[in-house]
Amino acid sequence: MAVGDLTAMAAAGEQSPRHRSGFRAWAGNPRALAGAGTVAALAVFCFFGPVFYHTNQVTVNLNAATHPPGAGHPLGTDGDGYDVLGRLMVGGQSSLELGFAVAAATTVIGVLYGAVAGWAGGVVDMVMMRVIDTFLALPTLVLLLLLVTIFTPTLLSVIVLLTALSWLGTARLVRGEVLALRTREYVQAAKTLGGGRWWIIRRHLVPNAFGVIVVSATFTIADAILMLSVLSFLGLGLPPPAADWGTMLANGLNYLFDGYWWMVYPPAVILVVMLVAINLAGEAARDTLDIRLRRR
């Protein structure tokens, strides 16, 4: 259960301003700038870094294993002989792709489900929500094991898996928003004027629930990246030679007591920095998009 989407839930039920001025307000917020800026910088590092800094992240080179930072390897090498700095770049690509893909998919599915449930109300809503409750109470570990044993974990299968776990929270949030919003006068007016259900959802409800959706999406990015690191720690992560920050950290911890700090702290630091930046941007979004705060 993502903690982040509950923050957003705490802010749910409030009327959000139109998203156009909201974006400008968000962009002006220093936290948002710091957060989004850092994310952008890290993305450049991960996707364009390898163009300038070539390393082989596929072939194991045992003769160069566990070398401390030095000539040719600014951050040393890991247990398989891969250059750590290069691996951070390549691993970051996986981590970022995973985070954003899961957030995007989760948002789409969650919004659709939540909007339908919230709009329909009554029994349909109750059933749809109890279905969510059921899936939420399901043991995540069983689901994880099931999918990991059926499929060889690839980035795509992990994305699918994490989406399947994350959409529930978003759906609940959006449903709450829609529930609150559909009683608003402008929506009643639109209905009287003959507006179709989907048109109202698209034109009025979604834009006004936008703030909540954005906040939830940013927290989903962070949670997905964290979840992959937990999977790796349990031995259910991506198989070699695939790289991602969480696996690097989980593997590196085996060497903590040997004094091979370069296998532990670089992925830990970059992971924390990235996740903090994403959370900052999300928090700033929540701050700027919540109307009550703008009054202060």
What residues line the site for another protein (CB under 8 A)? 1, 3, 6-7, 9-11, 58-60, 62-63, 65, 79-80, 126, 130-131, 133-139, 141-143, 145-146, 148-150, 152-153, 222, 226, 229-230, 233-236, 239-241, 246, 249-251, 253-259, 268, 271-272, 275-276, 279-280, 286, 290, 292-293, 295-296
Quick check: 131 and 123 in contact, CB under 8 A? no
**Residue closer to another protein (CB basis): 58 or 108:** 58
Please tell me the distance from the alpha carbon of residue 170 to that of residue 1, in angstroms, as a whole number: 10
CB of residue 260 to another protein, shortest distance in Å = 8
What is the DSSP code (8-state) at residue 204? Answer: I
**Residue closer to another protein (CB basis): 21 or 56:** 56
Please tell me the distance from the alpha carbon of residue 49 to that of residue 45, in angstroms, as a whole number: 5
- Count the Cβ atoms, other than its own, within 10 Å of residue 145: 13
Burial state string for 2-34 with b = 16 or more CB within 10 A and e = fewer than 16: bebbbbbbebbebebbebeebbebbeebebbee
**Residue closer to another protein (CB basis): 151 or 198:** 151
**Cα–Cα separations (whole angstroms), residue 242 to 35, 154, 293:** 27, 9, 44
**Residue closer to another protein (CB basis): 209 or 249:** 249
**Residue closer to another protein (CB basis): 194 or 235:** 235
Please tell me the distance from the alpha carbon of residue 218 to that of residue 225, in angstroms, as a whole number: 11
**Residue closer to another protein (CB basis): 24 or 295:** 295
CB of residue 196 to another protein, shortest distance in Å = 30
**Residue closer to another protein (CB basis): 20 or 296:** 296
> 79 in helix, strand or coil?
coil
Please tell me the distance from the alpha carbon of residue 50 to that of residue 243, in angstroms, as a whole number: 14
The encoded tokens of residue 180 equal: 């609150």
CB of residue 189 to another protein, shortest distance in Å = 25
CB of residue 259 to another protein, shortest distance in Å = 7
Amino acid at 262: W
- Count the Cβ atoms, other than its own, within 10 Å of residue 126: 12
CB of residue 142 to another protein, shortest distance in Å = 5
The dihedrals phi and psi of 77, each to the nearest 5 degrees, come to -125, 160
**Residue closer to another protein (CB basis): 27 or 65:** 65
CB of residue 44 to another protein, shortest distance in Å = 21
Please tell me the distance from the alpha carbon of residue 179 to that of residue 181, in angstroms, as a whole number: 6
CB of residue 198 to another protein, shortest distance in Å = 29
CB of residue 190 to another protein, shortest distance in Å = 26
